[in-house]
Amino acid sequence: QITFYEGKSFSGRKLEVCGTCSSFQERGFSPRVNSICVQSGAWVCFAHPGLRGQQFVLEHGEYPRWQRWNGRGDRMGSCRPVGMHGQHYRIELFERSRFGSRSLELTEDCSCLRGRGWEQPFVNAVRVYGDGAWVLYEEPNYRGRMYVVERGEFSSFRAWQACSASVQSVRRVINYL
C-alpha cells in the first residue's frame, strides 16, 4: 500500500492506493503530491497519467517532501507496484541495442559502471534475469533520472521509457514488506 498527500509532512487530502492506479485525477486527486508514505512493497510512480513520464522509485518508508524522492517538482499522475518475485537478482547490460556488442553482468548494486570496466556512459539494452527488479540511473552514485526494469528483455532504451541511453549506475529494488 502507498498513500499520497497533497500537503507536506503528510497533510491535506490523501489518496490510498493498493494496486496500479493509471490516473490520480480520475480518482479525484490533484496531480500535485507533496508527501508520500509507503506502507508495503516497492512502487514506481510516474509524473503523468497512463504510467508515463519521469519515473520515481519509492520503497518502504516516509517521504515528507517531494525532494526526498528525487523529484524535479511535485507533479505526479500515476503509479504501480514494482513486480517482485523473490530475491534472486541478475542483470545484463549491453552496449548496443538488440543485445549487441559488449555486455556486463551484475548481481549486486553498482554505484559507478565505469568502476566495473564499463567504458561508455550509456546502456542500450538490458536483460533482467531472476526474480528482482532493478533501477537504472543516468548518473553515477544513484543520481539523476531513474528507470525501473523488471524480469524480461529490453532491446533498447526506449523499452524502459528513457529519453536517452545514458546509464551510469544501477541498484536492486529491495521489497520491504
Predicted confidence (pLDDT) per residue in 67-96, tens digit: 888 767 788 999 999 987 667 899 999 999
Q: How many domains does the chain have?
A: 2
pLDDT of residue 87: 76
Structural domain containing residue 59: 2-81
Neighbouring C-beta atoms of residue 28, cutoff 10 Å = 8
Count of alpha carbons within 13 angstroms of residue 108, beta-carbon side: 4
Q: Are 118 and 136 contained in the same domain?
A: yes
Domain boundary among 81, 97, 116: 81
Neighbouring C-beta atoms of residue 57, cutoff 10 Å = 21
- Residue 18 CA, distance from chain mean position: 18
**32 domain residue, yes or no:** yes
Say which amino acid occupies 49. Answer: P
**177 domain residue, yes or no:** no
Q: Are 109 and 159 contained in the same domain?
A: yes
According to DSSP, residue 168 is labeled: -
Residue 176's pLDDT band (boundaries 50, 70, 90)?
Answer: low
Q: Are 63 and 130 contained in the same domain?
A: no
pLDDT of residue 71: 66
**166 domain residue, yes or no:** yes
State the pTM of this model: 0.87
pLDDT of residue 93: 97
Q: Are 73 and 123 contained in the same domain?
A: no
Q: What is the CATH number of the domain that holds 128?
A: 2.60.20.10
Domain boundary among 54, 81, 108: 81
Q: Are 73 and 108 contained in the same domain?
A: no
pLDDT of residue 82: 92
**56 domain residue, yes or no:** yes
Q: Are 120 and 46 contained in the same domain?
A: no
